[in-house]
Structure 1
């Protein structure tokens, strides 16, 4: 069965050489010094600010689920091949996208994930299917025919800001959401060479995105609630298999719950 949707998530780290070259040219700083200086400058302006502009990010993990037209999961895994690099991840993603033409499903992808992948396609000279740039194609904000950003859908294109993001919507469905690993830990995990933990965290986010995606289809009348719960059960079996075969998703399974509405 040819899959229809690609549900995915990206984890990234800071491209310190690029940040240094663009923001601190001529200051004779090491790449690490430039990074620390930029973080200090951001937090001097706003102590709660930790996220560096996506222009200076490089993807290090991309987890995805191929989802069939009936909303069942076909496969789950990672892009980039065995010798995974930022370049191999980006090239794999756009090759898959160009060949299979899936509907992209993400959470805040319009503001981050897709923009980062496009930036790296620009840097690497990677071809993107021309339909991607058509007037009402995947980049068009007010249609989910080719790209469904669940954050945009659930906030009515930014009309309201729900505190908690994907974590909120996942936990409303009884799913794990954020656990011990958080997004702001990825940089240090990478420095410590904890690549398995980063991939595991990325795949957890992709699964949360899938379950939120299912519930939005229920809201749209495209999927019945009983069928949604059957799909959740099927997905859990695939998660268990992934854990048994590759060791991923142990914490996700431990925190996997049933949907019980908060009242």
Structure 2
């Protein structure tokens, strides 16, 4: 079975905000500030933009298949939102993977739903609940308790909102890099500055952390033993080296440093990563 770990990055949908809130005449930065202010008024404090007004600017993925492991961001820096989302759903049609995310049920997938609706994007395999494939009735991408999509954050929290933990902290606790110089709050100003490349690099770092936590989760649930986990780590390490991209090399170096600094609570779980 193919496994596709994914993460998205978004910015305020300025065009949508102008239509809904009458923000014509404001430049993008001012329109976004108006949207944040209106949202704070709606919520009593939070300026987190509604899911339907989150414009997707990056989708990054780790694909684990029988051919190995691949890390990349869909499309390129000139790709439209429609193209990015179409590529995502086309990938599901092609690879028929198990989807893995961190807070995908609460954020990434609902955003993709609304934005695909906006762009008229068809995704029959994703939406199938048994109408096309009988087996999908019992295991589909939409079922919260189905494994076809595993929101690792949701599962580890026992589906309890008060037990939810941030990816950065969980990854760092396990000896993985965690956040690297950027967080979600910096995506919009980075986008305004025209630096989509840094956003894509950041998204790939997040999806790599999610993949590493997923591997540890797979060991915990008995799908990988200690030696198989070490093999998966090595496979990813080799893929990062082969990619020969500065941000991936930096992620690998931070992973090696974090692993070396881990206390030896249980040596089989802390197999050192080989140096290059």
So what's the TM-score if we normalise by structure 1? 0.86
Contact 1:107 / 1:166 at 8 angstroms: preserved in 2?
yes
Instruction: Specify every segment of 5 or more residues in structure 2 that has no aligned partner in the other structure, as ranges.
Output: 130-136, 266-276
SS at structure 1 position matched to 2:56: strand
Corresponding residue number in structure 2 for 1:87: 82
Deviations 1:49-75 (A, max 9, x none): 342122111111111111126xx8422
Match of 2:92 among 93, 97, 104: 97
Q: Residue 132 of structure 1: CA displacement?
A: 2.5
Note the C-alpha offset of 1:9.
Answer: 0.9
Return 5+ residue gaps in structure 1 as ranges: none
What residue is the counterpart of 1:4 in the other structure? 2
Within 1, Cα distance between the matches of 2:121 and 2:218? 33
Report if aligned partners of 2:5, 2:63 keep a CA contact under 8 Å in 1.
Answer: yes
Residue of structure 2 equivalent to 1:173: 174
Task: Give distance in 1, aligned partners of 2:168 and 2:107.
Answer: 17
2:154 is matched with 152
Aligned to 1:253: 252
Structure 1 stretch displaced more, 122-131 or 197-206? 122-131
Question: Which of 64, 68, 73 does residue 65 from structure 2 map onto?
Answer: 68
Aligned to 2:143: 140
| Pairs aligned (count) | 252
Q: CA RMSD in A?
A: 2.4
Tell me which residue corresponds to 1:125: 120
- 1:30 aligns to what? 26
User: Residues 168, 262 of structure 1: CA spacing in aligned structure 2 closer, same or farther, 3 A cutoff?
Assistant: farther
After TM superposition, give the deviation of residue 113 of structure 1 in Å.
1.1
Does residue 56 of structure 2 align to residue 54 of structure 1? no
8 Å CA contact retained: 1:80, 1:90 = no
Deviations 1:239-260 (A, max 9, x none): 1222x2x333243233212173
User: What's the CA shift string for 1:191-249, capped at 9, x where partnerless?
Assistant: 1111221111010011001101101111111110232123112212211222x2x3332
Distance 1:50 1:240, change over 3 A: farther
In structure 1, the partner of 2:197 is 196
CA distance in 2, matches of 1:96, 1:43: 37
CA distance in 1, matches of 2:209, 2:224: 18
Conserved 8 A contact 2:52-2:114: yes
SS of structure 1 residue aligned to 2:182: coil
